[in-house]
Structures are given as structure tokens and as C-alpha cells.
Amino acid sequence: MNLFLTRGAAVMLALLAVGRMPCTTAAEPAPPRAEAGQAFDPQPLVSRAERAGLRVFQSRHLVLITDRPPRQGDGLAELPAIFDEAFGVWCGHYGFDPASLAQWRACGCLVVDRETFRAAGLLPATVPEFANGYCDHHRFWLSDQSNPAYRRHLLLHEGVHAFTATLRNLNTPTWYTEGIAEWLATHRLEPTAPRFRHTPLPASPEDVEQLGRIEMIHRLRATQTCPSLEALFSLRPTLHGTISSYAAAWAGVSFLADHPRYARAFATIERGPLDAALTQRLRQQPGWNPAAASRDFDAFTETLDYGYDLSRMVIDWAPGQPVPAAGAVTQVQAERGWQHTGWQVQAGRGYQLQASGRVRVGRLRQASGTLDLESTANGISIDWYRGRPIGRLLAAQWDDHPQDGGRPRFTVLGEGEAITITAAATGPLYVKINNPPANLSDAGGSLAVQIASVSSSSTPEKAESTPRR
């Protein structure tokens, strides 16, 4: 590699060697420029584009220039208006009054043939050979995409870079730079205006056609390659140029922005300087517990799915009380993810769990009305999730060191109405009712679960104790 390469260019080449990437930002962002955040006049660029016969679409905040041939239904003409709607959401996220930024503009080039843009004077030699996108302050470039949804996403992703670079002088670690761009760009397209609906955690695959980040997190978990929170924080530009690392960066920001334990700290640091010390400031926030944060992030990536609501998935990591000789009882709520029973089990010891009751695990919406789907702890056989019937009671322990070398996770020890387990370690016993996260807002009710130590009691129905944590 040429020693005379700038550091940014060297990083760029390394990125290109890694594989496909949604975009590239300047790896070593320059210090804030004099024009950062100030008026940017795209008119000279528009004039060049028109002289070169390129198509130009404009809205209040975006000039979009493209050499893509007109095609019926390509949706290009509506992109600037969608960009403006997204701009309002970005302003809200960073606490800006949109009225105060009425003059803010960006210029994006949607590129089919780079030579056309070079010849038109719209692709400076200072722009490196980007794979999918590149942003330099108010200007960005993106390669045309065959999928309209991904093209729109990429446009907005680069737009977030332009927004944060010019209005926040962003120079943050990679996990935040790329994660916030992914997070703020993720949307569903509504049929009528306002069409941009910010869906940072998509409700369904149809919301984010071909984006595939949740599926990527599933793949990373399945192949024991999902990063820990610390590994995510350490993402280097030379290592982040893959779809998987963008998915991980998006997951990290999603986790921090919406997890009830971290949302306040994350919002606090986002209102401060968006500089290289961002991660350090996050770690210094009151109450930040690195071990718990790491476990919470692992629990998040393990259970992540469409329709995920972090407020329903908060894990209590308290050690719990030993199961009394007389047995114990706990309730498991249908509308939540993994729940602490309040009780601690002892490594190697046997326990019986006996569940009773029925819960609502979802609702079927039909023309004739809504039908509640009810289940006992054995589950219902008409629908399955992650290899088990929906509605089935699961009992698990958190495993910090899985034998396969993968990230820490819940290990299911037993399932169904009557469960006999052997505790894998001394620690809290967790339960949940198997259900996709998207169903939890329609779920309700609870099951009673009696817990008895096999060696100390064979009559769990006599349990009287209530859990204390």
C-alpha cells in the first residue's frame, strides 16, 4: 500500500477489501469546517447538473441529482419530500427546532455511471471509490440500487450523515456513526403523507423490505459471531465495512436508545458533544454497570425480532432467594419476555415446576371480530415460534459461558405444564411464555407456577412462599 495515501484513503481501501458496505463516511473526519452547519448553496451544483442533462429533484431540504433514466413508478420524484419528512424526525431526535433549520439543505447524487458525474463536475476526485455511499458534509453520493426500498434507505442513511456532520460536527466512534444513521433511516413507507414513519425497530419484515438486519443478527447469534457490547464499542472503520457490522451497529443504537435501563444515559450523551469520547462518556453515566449492560445486550441480540418492545423485555439479574424446602410459587406474565421467578436454584439440584392457568397469547383479527388465542402452559399447536409451540411455558437459566463458545444466553432447561429440571448452575431461575415479541402487545394474563426442590419436597402444591428478590 502506498505510504503517501492519506490515512482516510488507506482506511477506505481496507474497507473495500472487507466486502459490501451500505456506505462509507470519511474514516477520519476532518475538524469542523467553517461552513459546518451554516448555509450551503446547492445552486451551482444544480446548474452543473442541468447543463449535463441530469435529472434534478428538489424539496426544501434536499437536492437530488441522478443520471438514472426515467422509469414509470421508480419513485424518485417523491424521495425529496420523504427526505424532508425524515429531516423533521432527525430534528426531533437531536432537539432542534425545524423552523430554525428551514434553510438547511443537502445535495445527494444518485449515481448509475460515475464517469457521467465526474464529467459534469459533480464527483470530485477527493471522493474515494465508495462501494454504496459516501458523505462529505452537505454533499453525499450513493450508488443506484435495484430495490427501491433499499435505495430510499441508503439515501436517508447518507442524509443522516450529512445532518449530523453539519449540524452536530459528528466525529464519533464507528458504532455510533453508523448505528445512528441506520437507526434514524429505518422507516416504513405509509401510503399517504406523511409517508416517512420512523420504525427504528421494525414491526414486521414488510416494513423494511430487503433490509435484513434482524435476520443478520439471528445469523450472527446462530454462528456464534455476534459481537458483545464491548466488541461493538470497539468497531474500527477497517472492520465495519460489512452488512453484519452495520446490523450490529444498528442493534447497539436500538438497544441503548430504547432500553429503559440505558435510554436516559444514551439521550444524555447524545445531547453532548458527538466526538471521539462518546463511548467513554456513556460508561461514565451514573448507574452504568458494564457487566449488566453486557448481559442486557446479549439478551437483546438473542431475543431480538420484529415487533420488539424493549420495555417488555427488561431482565432482572438479581440473584434471587434459594427455593425454600417447602417449595415456592411464582407468576409468569404473558405479555413479557424472560422473567425472574424470584427464586434461585442450586447447581446440580433437581426441581419440579407445575404450571396452572390459561393466558391470552394473541388475537386473531377477522372480519367478524377479534378472537382471543388462549393457551395453557403446554402451548397451542397451531403456531410455533423458534421451534416450540406458542404459549408453551419455558424455564431457563442464563449461561455466561455456553459450551459452543457463543455469546452468553438463556439455556432452556424444561418446558410445558409439568417440568423437571436440573439446575445447570447456582443462580436465578427464569420463565417465560413462548411467543414472538410482536404478539406480546396482544397477550395478557398469567400462569401460576409452583416450584419444588425434588430432594426436599414432592408436594409442590403446598407451596406457600412468595418470592423476594
Residues at the contact surface with Zn ion, assessed by CB under 5 A: 23, 178, 181
Nearer to Zn ion (CB atom), residue 159 or residue 379:
159
Distance CA 277, CA 33 (A): 20
Nearer to Zn ion (CB atom), residue 168 or residue 432:
168
Nearer to Zn ion (CB atom), residue 246 or residue 266:
246
Decide: 457 and 364 in contact? Cβ < 8 Å: no
Least separation in angstroms between CB 319 and Zn ion: 42
Nearer to Zn ion (CB atom), residue 16 or residue 52:
16
Decide: 6 and 13 in contact? Cβ < 8 Å: no
Give how far the C-alpha of residue 375 lies from the chain's centroid of Cα atoms, to the nearest Å. 30
Start-to-end CA span in the chain (Å) = 59
Nearer to Zn ion (CB atom), residue 178 or residue 207:
178
Distance CA 149, CA 300 (A): 26
Nearer to Zn ion (CB atom), residue 240 or residue 432:
240
Least separation in angstroms between CB 133 and Zn ion: 6
Distance CA 375, CA 439 (A): 13
Distance CA 351, CA 457 (A): 9
Least separation in angstroms between CB 412 and Zn ion: 37
Least separation in angstroms between CB 336 and Zn ion: 35
Q: How far is CA 249 from CA 153, 202, 372, 425, 440, in A?
A: 16, 15, 37, 32, 26
Bridge partners for 139 per DSSP: 107, 136
Nearer to Zn ion (CB atom), residue 23 or residue 328:
23
Least separation in angstroms between CB 243 and Zn ion: 12
Nearer to Zn ion (CB atom), residue 164 or residue 303:
164
Q: Which helix (H) or strand (E) holds 218?
A: helix 213-222
Least separation in angstroms between CB 216 and Zn ion: 16
Nearer to Zn ion (CB atom), residue 181 or residue 373:
181
Helix axes 263-271, 79-94, angle to 10 degrees: 100
In the bound complex, which residue of the shown chain has the CB atom lying closest to Zn ion? 23
Least separation in angstroms between CB 105 and Zn ion: 20
Nearer to Zn ion (CB atom), residue 26 or residue 431:
26
Least separation in angstroms between CB 30 and Zn ion: 16
Cis peptide before 194 (omega within 30 of 0): yes
What DSSP string describes 398-453? EESS-TTS---EEEEEEESSEEEEE-SSSEEEEEEE---GGGGGG-B-EEEEEEEE
Decide: 153 and 209 in contact? Cβ < 8 Å: no
CB-based burial of residue 2 (10 Å sphere; 0-12 exposed, 13-18 middle, 19+ buried)? exposed
Query: In 175-319, at which residue ranges do the beta strands (DSSP E only) sit?
Result: 187-189, 196-198
CB neighbour list of residue 219: distance below 8 Å, 6 or more residues apart: 244
Least separation in angstroms between CB 16 and Zn ion: 14
Distance CA 101, CA 61 (A): 9
Least separation in angstroms between CB 175 and Zn ion: 12
Nearer to Zn ion (CB atom), residue 85 or residue 178:
178
Give how far the C-alpha of residue 355 lies from the chain's centroid of Cα atoms, to the nearest Å. 34
Least separation in angstroms between CB 177 and Zn ion: 7
Nearer to Zn ion (CB atom), residue 23 or residue 293:
23
CB neighbour list of residue 177: distance below 8 Å, 6 or more residues apart: 25, 161, 164, 170
A 10 A CB-CB count for 360 gives 17
Least separation in angstroms between CB 36 and Zn ion: 18
Residue 115: closest CA among 54, 58, 186, 42: 54
